[in-house]
Amino acid sequence: MSLTVRARMRRAGLDMHIHVDLPTEGVTAVFGRSGCGKTSLLRIIAGLDRVPGAEVCFDDQTWQGLNASIPLEKRRIGLVFQESSLLPHLGVRDNLLYGYQRTPDSQRRHRPEAIIDLLGLGTLIERRIDQLSGGQRQRIALGRALLASPQLLLLDEPLSALDSQSKREIMPFLDRLSGEIGVPIIYVSHAAAEIERLADHVALMERGRIESVEPIQQALSRPDSPLFADEGPASVLMGTLQASDAPDLQMFRSGALTLRLALPNPVQAGPTTVRLRIGARDVSLAIEPTTGISILNQLPFTIEAVHARDERRVIIRGRLVSGDLLLAEVSGWSARELLLQPGKRVFALVKAVSLLD
């Protein structure tokens, strides 16, 4: 399954040249600097902008071809923008049901109660639109889009107008969307934190072109990734949480890899996949396992690449026993002194992790 887009167009100061196959499983984030053409790409996919000669194919359906184009409503796309326009004269319930009631029975995939539950909207259902916070509005907008039973959801910076508290509140709901609803999502954002948390694949966009489409872990394995511009290089591991013998520790497992976590707030253990973020600055390297040290995790680590970040700092990419990639940031001096080079087996000392929840 994929979403193929081919389009060429000139806009003020931008030469858009798109030729891409985007995955249609899970969340595909489109990441790039302001003005690189992300919204323009979504509008082409949705059919809101008609570009002569463009092609848009979703699985076996041609949405736009050389001779034909089908309109937005027939594409069955759910759209949620930065500030979604709910209908102000309707209450929350009627806004939610707006698309549902216009969807033929045979195409309805979700029950309103299930979506209300999924997005935690139960207590808001009797409210007027002007009685909602920004985060609540975005949840209603997501619910309304889902209840129209889309085959593809396009989210254009849905969190960017929200404060950080509202972002934190809405994130778990977004996380559940693709997993529980099974609808593929194209997620435009220039916030690396959202992408680390939500994306399965990342499409990097630059100056009107898609430069790469990769699984999230691969996108994070390049030390010079544009995703790292704000927070510095980091790795994301995916695994499950388990209880440990020590009451104040939890175990994170990914294949043959186990990490001990001292989380500020314990999270329920279980089979649900969680994401663990490890900043490269929080990883040191040692030639041998070290005793008498407070660090909880010393992980066997095979160096794959060494990348000079600047004159003094070096990013080392290595592979863990689980096959996961991990980045470590060390001084250039240490890299020389310890002869850190591809193929060498060392130990990654992980000083801090955060659970992306």
Ligand X SMILES: Nc1ncnc2c1ncn2[C@@H]1O[C@H](COP(=O)(O)OP(=O)(O)OP(=O)(O)O)[C@@H](O)[C@H]1O
Q: Cα(236)–Cα(124) distance, rounded to whole angstroms?
A: 34
Part of the chain binding ligand X (CB under 6 A), chosen from 31-39, 51-59, 240-248, 307-315: 31-39
Query: Is residue 342 a contact partner of residue 314, using CB atoms and an 8 Å limit?
Result: no
Q: Does 84 bind ligand X (CB under 6 A)?
A: no
Output the smallest distance, CB 41 to ligand X, in A. Answer: 7
Q: Among 8, 14, 217, 338, indicate the residue that binds ligand X (CB under 6 A).
A: 14
Which residues neighbour 107 within 8 Å (Cβ) at sequence distance 6 or greater? 76, 149
Output the smallest distance, CB 250 to ligand X, in A. Answer: 37
Q: Does 13 bind ligand X (CB under 6 A)?
A: yes
Phi-psi domain of 183 (left: phi exceeds 0; alpha: psi -120 through 50; beta: other): beta
Q: Give the 3-state DSSP-derived string for 178-205, with helices as H, strands as E and coil as C.
A: HHHHCCCEEEEECCHHHHHHHCCEEEEE
3-state secondary structure of 167: helix
Output the smallest distance, CB 275 to ligand X, in A. Answer: 24
Helix (H) or strand (E) holding 317: strand 313-319
Part of the chain binding ligand X (CB under 6 A), chosen from 32-40, 67-75, 174-182, 290-298: 32-40
- The number of C-alpha atoms within 13 Å of 167 and in the hemisphere containing its C-beta is 17
Output the smallest distance, CB 76 to ligand X, in A. Answer: 23
Q: Does 12 bind ligand X (CB under 6 A)?
A: yes
Q: Which residues pair with 22 in a beta bridge?
A: 3
Helix (H) or strand (E) holding 218: helix 216-219
Q: Does 178 bind ligand X (CB under 6 A)?
A: no
Part of the chain binding ligand X (CB under 6 A), chosen from 30-38, 92-100, 276-284, 320-328: 30-38
Q: Does 189 bind ligand X (CB under 6 A)?
A: no
Output the smallest distance, CB 145 to ligand X, in A. Answer: 19
Binding pattern for the stretch 34-53 against ligand X, x by CB under 6 A and - elsewhere: xxxxxxx-------------
Helix (H) or strand (E) holding 197: helix 192-198
Give the binding site for ligand X (CB under 6 A): 11-14, 32, 34-40, 190
